[in-house]
Amino acid sequence: MPSHLIGKTVCGYKLNEIIGESKLSAVYKGHDKKSGRDAAIKVVANSVLDEAGIRSRFISTARARLNLQHPALLPIEHFKEDENFVYLVMPLMQESLVAALKHGAFSPEEIKRVVAVIAEALDFMHTQGFVHRGVKPGNIFVNSEGDILLADFGIAKWIDPENQHASPEQGRGESGDHRSDIYSLGALTQQMLGDASSPAISKAIAPNADDRYQSAGEFARALANSTIQSGARGAASPTSTRLVWGLLISGLVLACVFASAAVAVSYFVLQSPK
């Protein structure tokens, strides 16, 4: 993706630097001078889409994506196309799961939390008639508020032909369906587990789609009720990247502790003699 786009203004955002790049697309960090807000702008070359013969489908899907909102889906805020490129404007995220995985396996609590959120997002999009086909660490983010978000849904299938978490049917060149996403989520879960394992995963990554869970939520519930034994890499690394993800769980736990403490104090006050 050419760097000469740096300095170009797209939907009010000046492209300042490339923050992610592949053979098929690039992600720029953009800045809106009026609002002072930064955003991520994914840029896909029309030549790539034309070569694959999917430009019209890609554009129609991206436009449909503008109208689909869910708390666990990274929104596409603006869409634009010109004679050379297609531009997708999205919120700028703090960390992706890729960076976190470099520091070892996740704790059981972290894994169950991430899977539950992504499963909810997948079930929502499946009910809307969409299949992601690109569930992988690079498409899962956490924002500054600690929210987990799934990105690229509805467009990943055409610009990510080398997804290592793809289902066997996708590997055979088949389109796949919602069960392909369940396989990918299971493969992602195993990656987060590292050397550990869970009996819930084997059904999620069954080679035959008919043998898998029939919804992502079903898999998430099975995982939540299973026992996960941490492997050799299971301990969280005390790095900033892992701490960002670790705080997702810690914040929830602390909230519960403080809430319980507040109830206890209120009870004590009410029961104290006047």
Beta bridge partners of residue 254, listed in sequence order: none
Classify residue 217 by burial, with Cβ atoms within 10 Å: 0-12, 13-18, 19+.
middle
Distance CA 166, CA 175 (A): 11
Tens-binned pLDDT, residue by residue, of the chain (274 aa): 556 799 999 999 999 999 988 777 889 999 999 999 999 999 988 887 887 677 888 888 888 888 889 999 999 999 999 988 999 999 998 778 998 888 877 889 999 999 999 999 999 999 998 889 889 998 999 888 889 999 976 555 555 556 789 899 988 888 889 999 999 999 999 999 988 889 999 999 999 999 999 999 999 999 999 998 765 444 444 344 444 455 554 444 344 334 344 433 333 333 444 4
**Location of structure tokens 């972290």:** 110
95-239+243-247 is a CATH 3.40.50.970 domain: no
Domain residue ranges in the chain: 3-91, 95-239+243-247
Distance of alpha carbon 49 from alpha carbon 45, whole angstroms: 7
User: In whole angstroms, what is the distance from residue 197 CA to residue 201 CA?
Assistant: 8
- Contact criterion met (CB below 8 Å) for 27 and 43: yes
Helix (H) or strand (E) holding 92: none
DSSP letter for 49, please: H
Out of 3.30.390.10, 3.30.200.20, 3.40.449.10, 3.40.190.10, select the CATH number for domain 3-91: 3.30.200.20
Cross-strand pairs, 266: none
